[in-house]
């Protein structure tokens, strides 16, 4: 929340013990790492735009978490948050991203030609393919912190960039606050429309402020490339289509992203990126590639196999229901996607999805014939 900067200075009149949050019932990454020493060290700091430690952790204080799901419990308000609050964020990043160290370097690879295969996933099982990521525009603060003026400037820049695209990327922008009923209906039927966040994980971080001001959806005429503006990140970029041709989805994803990035660079506003954390996004869980590449795949037999979870873990994949995160699967159809974001490249992660899903479909076919799959269970990738 954009408190005046004097608010943080005012808090310093109180001792650390008096201000330190009660995290005794909490189970999120922030609560595991934050102690009074770190709090004491960082409480008087601010990023140049005025984002403070209490701003970073508010969502984690307000949402103790779930005993089984480990949420992150903190957000960045701007690019500099990851520097100024390193002492808190580095251990959280390490915890969340498999031991990633402050000295590690992240590899970015958006060259779709480096992907092997991916165009032959069986469409009898793989119903749809999708790749999404996020991008933040350098020089602006992030959704938890930005003011209306900034958010509008981001929208303006994004729309300018997107409407200049042509060829397969020619499309149109639909601002949330002025779309017609007919446009809204269409976007809902296409499963494109995003709604005001209701999850307290997001609302407590201030990301729904001023809704629906400066929020909108852009998509190409073919309805295969979609950009969300000012939802949880500045931009969420999505490439998708029915069927199992993940290779084509990834190609369009890479090409489209690079075209957009070129345009932003020309306006002197490239994307937030550095060689340690890759692409900088609001939630620390989305650092690195920010990429979630996945398919909706029918696995009614494999999903009930006792080794299903273990297979997913070894393949470095995760499952979700067909409604997205925190939903149940319907009719044995699962959303299977990469689990990693930081420490491996875009090509690496999509490769894991392509190879892993191919294997799982073969396992499903074997199980249909009543055959065992023990010999097929992979080693840990």
152 is in an annotated binding site: no
Cβ 149 to other proteins shortest distance, Å: 3
294 annotated as ligand-binding: yes
Per DSSP, the three-state class of 46 is strand
Is 320 annotated to bind a ligand? Reply is: yes
Is 324 assigned a ligand-binding role in the annotation? yes
Hey, what's the torsion of the CAs at 248, 251, 253, 256, to 10 degrees?
-120
CB of 67 to other proteins, least distance (A): 18
212 upstream amide cis, omega within 30 of 0? yes
| Options 6, 180, 189, 268; binder of other proteins; rule CB under 8 A | 6
Which CA distances in Å does 96 have to 16, 52, 114, 195, 269? Answer: 27, 22, 27, 27, 29
Query: Which span (87-95, 97-105, 149-157, 234-242) binds other proteins, by CB under 8 A?
Result: 149-157
Q: CB nearer to other proteins: give 7 or 319.
A: 7
- Interface residue with other proteins among 92, 208, 237, 317 (CB under 8 A) is 208
What is the nearest approach in angstroms of other proteins to the Cβ of residue 7?
3
In the list 147, 163, 304, 313, the residue contacting other proteins (rule: CB under 8 A) is 147
- Tally the C-alpha atoms within 13 A of residue 223's C-alpha that lie toward its C-beta: 10
- Cα dist from 248 to 172, 251, 360, whole Å: 22, 5, 20
Residue in the structure block whose two tokens are 């067909």: 322
Q: Which part of the chain contacts other proteins (CB under 8 A), choosing from 92-100, 141-149, 290-298, 372-380?
A: 141-149
User: Which residues within the stretch 211-240 sit at the binding site for other proteins (CB under 8 A)?
Assistant: 211, 213
Based on the shown chain and the rule CB under 8 A, indicate whether residue 22 belongs to the binding site for other proteins: yes
Q: What is the dihedral of CA 319, 325, 327, 333, to 10 degrees?
A: -40
Is position 5 an interface residue for other proteins (rule: CB under 8 A)? yes
CB 16 within 8 A of CB 40: yes
Query: Shortest distance, CB of residue 173 to other proteins, whole angstroms?
Result: 17
CA 5 to chain centroid:
29
The residue from 33, 39, 50, 215 that contacts other proteins (CB under 8 A) is 50
Distance CA 48, CA 108 (A): 28
Q: What residue ranges bind other proteins (CB under 8 A)?
A: 1-11, 13-15, 18-22, 48-50, 54, 58, 61-62, 141, 147-150, 152-153, 177, 203-204, 208-211, 213
């Amino acid at each position: 929340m954009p408190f005046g900067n004097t608010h943080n200075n005012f808090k310093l009149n109180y001792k650390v013990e008096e201000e330190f949050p009660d995290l005794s019932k909490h189970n999120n990454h922030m609560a595991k790492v934050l102690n009074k020493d770190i709090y004491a060290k960082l409480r008087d700091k601010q990023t140049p735009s005025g984002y403070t430690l209490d701003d970073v952790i508010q969502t984690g204080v307000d949402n103790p978490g779930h005993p089984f799901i480990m949420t992150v419990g903190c957000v960045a308000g701007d690019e500099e948050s990851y520097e100024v609050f390193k002492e808190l964020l580095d251990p959280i990043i390490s915890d969340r991203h498999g031991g990633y160290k402050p000295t590690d370097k992240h590899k970015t690879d958006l060259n779709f030609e480096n992907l092997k295969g991916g165009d032959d996933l069986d469409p009898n099982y793989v119903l749809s393919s999708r790749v999404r990521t996020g991008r933040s525009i350098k020089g602006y603060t992030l959704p938890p912190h930005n003011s209306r003026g900034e958010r509008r400037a981001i929208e303006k820049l994004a729309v300018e960039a997107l409407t200049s695209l042509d060829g397969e990327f020619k499309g149109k922008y639909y601002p949330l606050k002025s779309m017609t009923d007919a446009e809204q209906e269409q976007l809902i039927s296409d499963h494109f429309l995003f709604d005001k966040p209701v999850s307290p994980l997001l609302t407590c971080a201030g990301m729904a402020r001023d809704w629906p001001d400066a929020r909108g959806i852009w998509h190409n005429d073919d309805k295969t490339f979609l950009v969300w503006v000012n939802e949880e990140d500045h931009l969420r970029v999505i490439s998708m289509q029915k069927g199992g041709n993940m290779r084509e989805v990834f190609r369009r994803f890479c090409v489209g992203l690079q075209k957009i990035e070129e345009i932003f660079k020309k306006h002197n506003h490239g994307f937030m990126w550095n060689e340690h954390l890759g692409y900088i996004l609001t939630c620390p869980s989305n650092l690195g590639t920010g990429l979630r590449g996945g398919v909706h795949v029918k696995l009614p037999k494999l999903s009930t196999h006792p080794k299903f979870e273990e297979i997913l873990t070894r393949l470095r994949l995760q499952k979700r229901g067909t409604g997205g995160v925190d939903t149940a699967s319907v009719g044995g159809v699962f959303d299977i996607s990469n689990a990693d974001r930081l420490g491996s490249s875009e090509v690496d992660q999509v490769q894991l999805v392509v190879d892993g899903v191919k294997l799982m479909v073969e396992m499903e076919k074997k199980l249909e014939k009543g055959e065992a799959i023990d010999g097929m269970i992979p080693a840990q990738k």
